[in-house]
């Protein structure tokens, strides 16, 4: 889905926060909101010429629950089941992914970043999604599954790590 008016505002805020940072390389997923957010950020970074798509950072796949409002799912399956699917580390929604699944693919992405760029003087920006950012943070901050599952990911801020 495309960025909402709120999403556009958040992307502009993020762009302001990053305008004085050096950005050499950028990654996004195939989803338009990831690309649109990155496009906004890179408006103030014409020096960034290496832009890559990588679906290992794509949003969590909610399977048969995709496209349904939270309240609709709660009405159908109950609050307890919704909470399991929504925040449990290894509970998968029907035909969907768990946080653990997302963390595996994000972990593979991070491993590749380290392999390609560790020790090089480059700055990389990754325009990802709430659940993939949660997995990214868990891995980079060496957090527990419980901590990571509980995080609310802000869309108008960034997290900075050294690889």
Q: What residue numbers does the annotated binding site cover?
A: 33, 59-62, 130-131
Task: Show binding-site residues for substrate.
Answer: 33, 59-62, 130-131
**Which burial class, exposed, middle or buried, applies to 49 when counting CB atoms under 10 A from its CB (0-12, 13-18, 19+)?**
exposed
Kindly calculate the radius of gyration of the chain based on its CA atoms and give it in whole angstroms: 16
Q: How many CB atoms lie within 10 A of CB 129?
A: 20
The residues facing 50 across adjacent strands are 25
CA 163 – CA 27 distance, rounded (Å):
15
């Amino acid at each position: 889905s495309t960025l909402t008016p709120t999403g556009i505002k958040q992307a502009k805020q993020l762009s302001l926060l990053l305008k004085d940072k050096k950005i050499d390389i950028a990654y996004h997923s195939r989803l338009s909101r990831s690309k649109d957010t990155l496009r906004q950020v890179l408006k103030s970074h014409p020096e960034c010429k290496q832009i890559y798509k990588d679906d290992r950072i794509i949003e969590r796949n909610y399977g048969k629950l995709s496209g349904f409002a939270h309240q609709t799912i709660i009405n159908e399956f109950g609050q307890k089941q919704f909470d399991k699917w929504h925040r449990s580390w290894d509970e998968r929604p029907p035909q969907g992914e768990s946080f653990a699944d997302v963390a595996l693919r994000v972990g593979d992405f991070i491993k590749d970043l380290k392999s390609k760029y560790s020790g090089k003087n480059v700055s990389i920006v990754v325009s990802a999604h709430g659940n993939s950012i949660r997995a990214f943070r868990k891995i980079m901050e060496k957090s527990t599954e419980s901590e990571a599952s509980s995080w609310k990911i802000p869309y108008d801020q960034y997290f900075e790590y050294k690889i």
